[in-house]
Amino acid sequence: MSIDIPTLALCRGLLLMLLSALLWFSMRYDRDVSGPGFWALGFALNGLAILTFLFDQPYLVPILNLTNHLATGLACCALLFGFWRFNLQPPQWGVLGVIAILPLIGLLISNDLGRNALLRVLFTASAQLVFYLALLQLLLKPFRAEIGQLFGWLRVLITLFLVFFAWQYGQIGARYLELQVDTPNVLYSGIFGIVSLMFTLTFAIACIALQLVRISAGFADSAMTDWLTGLLNRRGLSMLAEQDDARRHRDDSTSAVICFDIDHFKLVNDRFGHPAGDQVLKMLGSVIRSNIRGHDIAARQGGEEFSVVLVGGDESQAIQVAERIRQDFSTRSLSLGLALEEKLTVSAGVVQVVRDRTILQALDAADIALYAAKRAGRNRVVAASSLASASGR
């Protein structure tokens, strides 16, 4: 069985370069290019490493071997670092250091760069193994639900490839230890070359698919996000409100809703213009974010009206959060330097979501409580339950 190793190397190298270019092209449509940018660099370096197998001139062999091993280690570092950035995880510098150093150790130990020393190959293969194992661990925790399935497929793909990887480098290890190996060298190298070609293509396509999924998810996020404050808009609020309705019915739990409105906001726009009004709106959005938990829901419903859903919260917790936001906003608004007779304030209405109501229905009740706060003199928090008690007297 004859397998043309240089032709396989040429196909793999050119394919990696092409896929690197495709990743660079896809980055034009992504707001956060850091992760895929390192993927593109990693594929380009891997392609460079593979293309060194095309040359066999004796005077080039030392520099080609040096390039192959160093580029392979750096490619693994770039790919892994890119996945950490893509998945919003802090990089593990120790792991990257091990991957980068192992090929260097192999080069230092094997001082004859003029031939393909088995020990040098095994050190570089060890760096690749660390890369694959670290990547498998990373893929267990996707940062978004949309990429979870692709991460699962990648784990299966890498696991299957590691079987052939262990077979290939197990044969090389056996040769280094001078053990008897029945399979001809050209055969297992050729088979591994074909498997590597298929793996490279599938792995790179998966990376491009991850990039496209994230771009698509980013567009979906933009459609649900208020451009000025970064909070959800009405569409995003409605979508997450439905999810919380389903959660409450499933777990038989509670949530609470707060509606905010900036007092006398029209005076700010009339006296200082809409840019000043935008600064006030952004400040309230920032104050709300800093006073709620990560899994709570915050939205700008339109104009100067904002709403918060305290997931799993009750009315007393909502009153405390609303009071913190009211006081914090009143204090921080002074930093805007607007020459108003009175400092900026907000009014709020609070309601606990009862079991037979939806979040959107609760928002209507909180809105009624909000305007009761306006009628009572503004700059205060009113609970819907207090209105029910007053009407019952």
Catalytic residues, by residue number, are 304
CA distance 117 to 111: 9
How far, CA to CA in Å, does 132 sit from each of 34, 60, 160?
20, 30, 11
Are 135 and 83 a contacting pair, CB within 8 Å? yes
How is residue 319 written in tokens?
């009153």
Continuous segment of H or E residues that includes residue 96: helix 93-109
Which residues make Cβ contacts (< 8 Å) with residue 209, sequence separation at least 6?
150
- The closest alpha carbon to 226, from 217, 235, 216, belongs to 235
Residue 26 to residue 214: CA distance in whole angstroms: 11
Joined together, the tokens standing for residue 87 give: 């998945």
Give me the amino acid identity at 214. Answer: R
User: Is 105 exposed, middle or buried (CB count within 10 Å of its CB: 0-12, 13-18, 19+)?
Assistant: middle
Which residues, at least 6 apart from 326, have a Cβ–Cβ distance to it below 8 Å?
345, 346, 347, 348, 379, 380, 381
Distance CA 112, CA 381 (A): 78
CA 212 from centre of chain: 13
**In the block, residue with structure tokens 């050119």:** 14
Residues whose CB falls within 8 Å of the CB of residue 380, separated by 6 or more in sequence, listed in order: 326, 347, 348, 373
